[in-house]
A and B are shown apart, each in its own frame.
Chain A
Amino acid sequence: MLASVNTLSIVFGTIFAPLAAFLIAILFLMRSPRLAQAIVLAGAALSVTGSIALLLRGPVEPLRFLWFASGDIQLRFGFLLDGTSLMFGVAVTVITLCVMVYSLGYMSHDPAKSRYFALLGFFAWSMLSFVYAVDLLQAFIFWELIGLSSFFLIGFWYEKPSAANAARKAFLMTRIGDVGLFIGILLILQYFGDFDIPGLLNADSGLVSAVAPATLTAILLLIFVGIVGKSAQFPLHTWLPDAMEGPTPVSALLHSATMVAAGVFLMARLHPLFMADETARTVVICVAAFTALLAATMAMVDRDIKKVLAYSSISQLGFMLMALAAGSLFAGVFHLITHAFFKALLFLCSGLYIHHLATNDLEEIGRRGGRRMRFTTVGLVIGGGALAGIPPLSGFFSKEEIFAQLGHDGFTLFTGAAFAAAFLTAYYTFRMVFLVVRPAGGDCGDLNDAQPATDGGHGGRAEPWSMVTPVVFLTFAAAFAGFYGTDIAAGLGLSPAHHTLASALPAVGVVLFGVAIAWLDFGRSNARRRGFIAAVPALQTLFVNQWFVDAFYRAVVVRSTGALATLMHWTEAKVLDSGFDRLALTILEWGKRATRVQSGWVQFYGGCAVLLFGTLALCLYLDVGIGGG
């Protein structure tokens, strides 16, 4: 029976179920949180079923509908169901459902639950529409709507000025990136005439053959600007740490697994185009490598667990972009999927700590007995291991692919950078783990204490079932997803690079080295608990202050925009406005002066009359023509 349901209906169901849930919740259920939660969860469950069904059916021809025509431009919307979108779609829906279930517990005390779940439904719809989009403009539209959901979710607790400002910052920075993307897309339209993605990618008749190389580079670089904004790469990365102001499940969903991954996904989509252009690839790989290192350095000194994970996301996204730019679609997508799982897992674990122990600070979590929250800590360790790339967890396999690809095409400099970043990744990850698991002087908190923190601590069970179930599920996913590498590759129509044990050794060595240093610094019983970088105070300051990028933006960008605005405001008020006002007042003045002729003095009037008639008479006498002559 199920086989007879046609693909289009499944796609519609998958994508629009969350939208329907959102609309019902936002319009009718704002005062009935339980119903709202139920509806949105039902929508998400439908999506999960649908996306899995689509995956099982395998890739099909794209489905298209005409949307509008302007002049001779025809824009379509539709669905592109190929390996990439099908697999990522499943990842998105599954993680969304996990996060929603988790939120049942996490947000149970929040008065605005309905709005929260409705917004998650809106996000799910936008994200899925983006993933399955067949038309670049359609993808752009939903790219923006994802950004919008992010804005509302980061600023969910909008009564906190810091959250509101973080939401604004996220929106503006991604908007700046979007400008580049938009221009790139419009250029594609101008030179190619169509937005259809399969059409663009066609080796014979696609974009590559239609435009000059310089134009192609320009277009790709502009698109990359958008990716930089959305995936929080340098220099548009500073919004992501601030986005941690949002509820932790939001951070898990949007700011690690799905939304920020949209940039990487877009690049994966347009991979053949990037492969055709050396300049673009080089730029991407440079930026990505630099970001990976940069973010890792910032992660290793931060004490806020969510910020560490945020920097980690930035860094890992850099890895993915490096892989894609180096030439391996498989490596990039593989890491994208494994990262989605283990990063979401890590965030959800951090959420459990925050929710129960009422603190974001790593040291505090340790001291208040975080390690006694079993499921959470196991999840943290597994997820951390996956992140660091310890075999046989999923992260190891996907990282291995990346290193293999980098080694391949002679990108040696970048391989070195990747290894350095991997070392740092392992280091900061296990710093985090050790700070939680082996707190200084043992833990001294009673698990049932509660004080308010960023997300608000609440009393009650340390690990309610609603929050633990997703964590357990994701723990398994993070552990075993790596074994599906061949399947993923097959889904993409590629084959994974062959590895021997020997080729994997350098990476494993680097990772274990990182873990060892972390143990030395934080894990041993008499550890100094100060990172090794503290030995170089200049670097320590640099890292702790996020390389002063934010400070620079505040000092330069914000101030100059403000200055321009003030200048134009001054022009408006003092020049244009008062210019016209003064003109009007001058005319008024002239009028007043002219009225002095009306002196009220009758003899003056008489004299004027006489003069006038006299002149007239003279003209008549002298035969000067006054009308007809």
Chain B
Amino acid sequence: MPLLSAIMACPLIALGIVLCVPATAVRLIRWTCALSALAAGVLSLHLWHSYDTVAGGMQFVERISWVPSAGISYHLGVDGFSTILVMLNSIVFFTGVLTMWDLEHRVKGFFAFMLMFVIGVYGVFLSLDLFFFYFFYEIAVVPMYPLVLIWGSGNKEYAAMKLTLFLLAGSALLFPGLLAIYHAAGLNSFDMTLLAAHPFDPEFQVFVYPFIFLGFGVLAGMFPVHGWSPTGHVAAPSAVSMLHAGVLMKLGAFGILSVGIRILPAGAVYWAPVFAVLASIGIVYGAFVAMRQTDFKFVIGFSSVSHMGIVVLGLNLAVLGQAGVDALNGAVFQMFAHGVMTALFFSIVGFIYDRSHSKTIADFGGLGSQMPRAVSVFIVAGLCGAGLPGLASFWAEMLVSLAALKTYPMMGVAIIGGLVLTAVYILRVFIQAFFGPPNPRWQGLRQVDLAGWVIVPRALLIGVLVILGFMPRLILDMINGTTIALVENLARLEDLNLLGKF
């Protein structure tokens, strides 16, 4: 079986099994999911290993005609970006399953929806057909509603509804845009590679691009349409938050990249300055709001808004010419690094919540003495968020800052200043919750600190962050190859004389 379909088949087969077994066979369900995640992970690693960076372009392409009269086909393929993101999804999928191992309530339903979600995400990253891209996109978004509603905590009904409505509103903006592209191309095909090669009328591109960008931007947590994200993060159960912030938000950024920038480059170039400003505001805004939060997950939620701002900024700077390669490299790198980091965050916060049933920072204090290992994990994740060198996010932030300094110097300064702001709110959490005299209320937590195989998912995530922190080449080479090809493509637009016309 071709590799890409095999990767998608792992969760699909698991879904089939999970749906067919009785709801009481909890152990079977868990193990099925874990094994399928492991299989998908191994296959993704194999994909990463065998992707030919030198040759570049789309590889491992598979195509089956689906609805010929409408030009829809089951078309999969990967380039440098998708390979990385497929790996990300596998990592988060695996660690997510392990994080929810102790779930007892309606296990079958939970894992069924989670598998559906994972299938959707794989589909988006692998699809080269616009119809299937959107199809899988929706498959990824819809299960969020029951996942948050049934297994969430806190204000879950409100959060689930808000999340779903926001995301569907984004999709509603997106759908007409996609159809417009289909019709304007006149090729009677949804094939994304064909559409990318087709030169659309610049007027058309400028008109349609905001729909695409904002539609995907909602999912990418862009300011000002980010409101669903922190609320959703907080109410969702740990694995769902991990997937949500770690992978789902990357779907939005990937969409901007694959559909917006690849297919409507002139529109992207025209609108880039505006959206770059919005993204920069998001970076600083997210950090400031995070400073005032009283709940762990809200802090992480707003930090996600801030970090995704870096991704979106990078994407916008990528089309503006001067430092496009660095910006795009940084953006994709950040997608991966932030995905892993935020998965780690939610994994460990979920752990602490499971043991203590509290997410409020003020409830804690001196937790470092009682749960030193869990706290150390959180500290590593926090430092990664603050852009500490030696951890993966540093390279991403460096590349995007470099690009920003070249293009809009003041914006670059603001972003680097954002590093300090991140340190401020992260350290605030450390001081309030982990340092200081131990709170006698949590005396019993010492016994239930991270131990045994529960360490595995967190260790895996930390390992990835540290290894990438010191050896960014592992994924950067792959990203770089694809970036250079894309930016060269964009450079041809110079002839159209559209840069900076906004």
Contacts and interface: CB of A to CB of B under 8 A. Distances in A.
Interface stretch (B55-63, B243-251, B430-438, B489-497): B430-438
Contacts of A480: none
Given A68-B472, A186-B402, A159 B430 contact: no
A139 to B, nearest CB: 10
Nearest to B487: A71
A449 B434 CA distance: 35
A68 B473 contact: yes
Interface residues of B, number: 53
A91 interface: no
Interface in B378-405: 383, 388-390, 394-395, 398-399, 401-402, 405
B359 interface: no
Given A158-B434, A564-B288, A576 B224 contact: yes
Nearest to A187: B405
B431 A164 contact: yes
A232 to B, nearest CB: 17
Interface string A188-221: 0110000000000000000000000000000000
Given A161-B436, A186-B398, A576-B227, A69 B292 contact: no
Interface string A125-165: 00000000000000011101100100000010011110111
B435 A158 contact: yes
B289 interface: yes
A161 B435 contact: yes
Contact of B477 (A69, A161, A165): A69
A171 B162 CA distance: 38
Interface of A is mostly: helix
- Residue from A69, A159, A176 with most neighbouring chain B CB atoms (10 Å): A159
Interface string A513-524: 000000000000
A561 interface: yes
A427 to B, nearest CB: 37
A577 interface: yes
B96 to A, nearest CB: 25
Given A159-B438, A165-B431, A580-B227, A176 B413 contact: no
Contacts of B368: 158-159
A172 B288 contact: no
A172 B435 contact: no
B142 interface: no
A159 B370 CA distance: 11
A561 B423 CA distance: 13
B9 interface: no
Contacts of A598: none
A571 B289 CA distance: 9
B436 A183 contact: no
A171, A567, A571, A572 — which one has the most chain B CB atoms within 10 A of its CB?
A: A572
Kindly name the residue among A71, A176, A571 whose own CB sees the greatest number of chain B CB atoms within 10 A: A71
A581 B329 CA distance: 37
A144 B292 contact: no
A302 B459 CA distance: 47
Interface in B157-193: 162, 165-166
Nearest to B397: A182
A38 interface: no
A71 B389 contact: no
A158 B291 CA distance: 21
B147 interface: no
B165 A584 contact: yes
B436 A70 contact: no
B71 interface: no
Interface string A167-191: 1100110011001001100110110
A183 B412 contact: yes
Contacts of A189: 402
Given A187-B405, A577-B227, A144 B388 contact: yes
Given A182-B416, A183-B416, A580-B166, A73 B326 contact: yes
B329 A71 contact: yes
B389 A144 contact: yes
B241 interface: no
B285 interface: yes
A172 B428 CA distance: 11
A159 B166 contact: no
A67 interface: yes
Interface string A39-82: 00000000000000000000000000001111111000000000
Contacts of A565: 288-289, 291-292
B291 to A, nearest CB: 4
B417 interface: yes
A34 interface: no
B497 to A, nearest CB: 24
Nearest to A158: B435
A190 B399 CA distance: 11
B389 A145 contact: yes
Contacts of A163: 435
A305 to B, nearest CB: 26
A69 to B, nearest CB: 7
Contacts of B289: 565, 568-569, 572
A141 B366 contact: no
Contact of B435 (A155, A572, A584): A155
A569 B438 contact: no
Interface string A557-582: 00001101111110110001100110
Dominant SS at the B interface? helix
Contact of B424 (A71, A561, A569): A561
Given A144-B390, A159-B435, A190-B405, A179 B476 contact: no
Given A69-B480, A569-B292, A183 B427 contact: no
Given A148-B388, A171-B423, A584-B165, A68 B402 contact: no
B458 to A, nearest CB: 14
B81 to A, nearest CB: 15
Contacts of A73: 326
Given A159-B435, A561-B424, A140 B389 contact: yes
B208 interface: no
B465 to A, nearest CB: 14
Interface in B460-502: 472-473, 476-477, 480, 483-484
B389 A159 contact: no
Contacts of B473: 67-69
B420 interface: yes
Nearest to B369: A159
B419 interface: yes
B317 interface: no
Given A179-B417, A186-B402, A70 B326 contact: yes
A159 B436 CA distance: 4
Contacts of A67: 472-473
Contacts of A187: 405
Contacts of A145: 388-390
A187 B399 CA distance: 12
B100 interface: no
A189 B402 CA distance: 8
Nearest to B484: A71
A164 B477 contact: no
B292 A566 contact: yes
Contacts of B419: 175, 179, 182
Interface string A539-554: 0000000000000000
Contacts of A158: 368, 434-436
Contact of A70 (B166, B329, B434, B438): B329
A256 B355 CA distance: 42
Interface string B5-45: 00000000000000000000000000000000000000000
**What 8 pairs between A and B have smallest CB-CB spacing?**
A164-B435, A71-B325, A141-B389, A569-B292, A565-B291, A568-B288, A158-B435, A68-B473
11 contacts: A71-B329, A144-B389, A189-B402, A565-B288, A565-B292, A566-B292, A567-B288, A568-B289, A569-B288, A569-B289, A572-B227
Given A182-B398, A569-B288, 6 more contacts: A69-B473, A144-B389, A148-B390, A182-B416, A183-B413, A580-B166
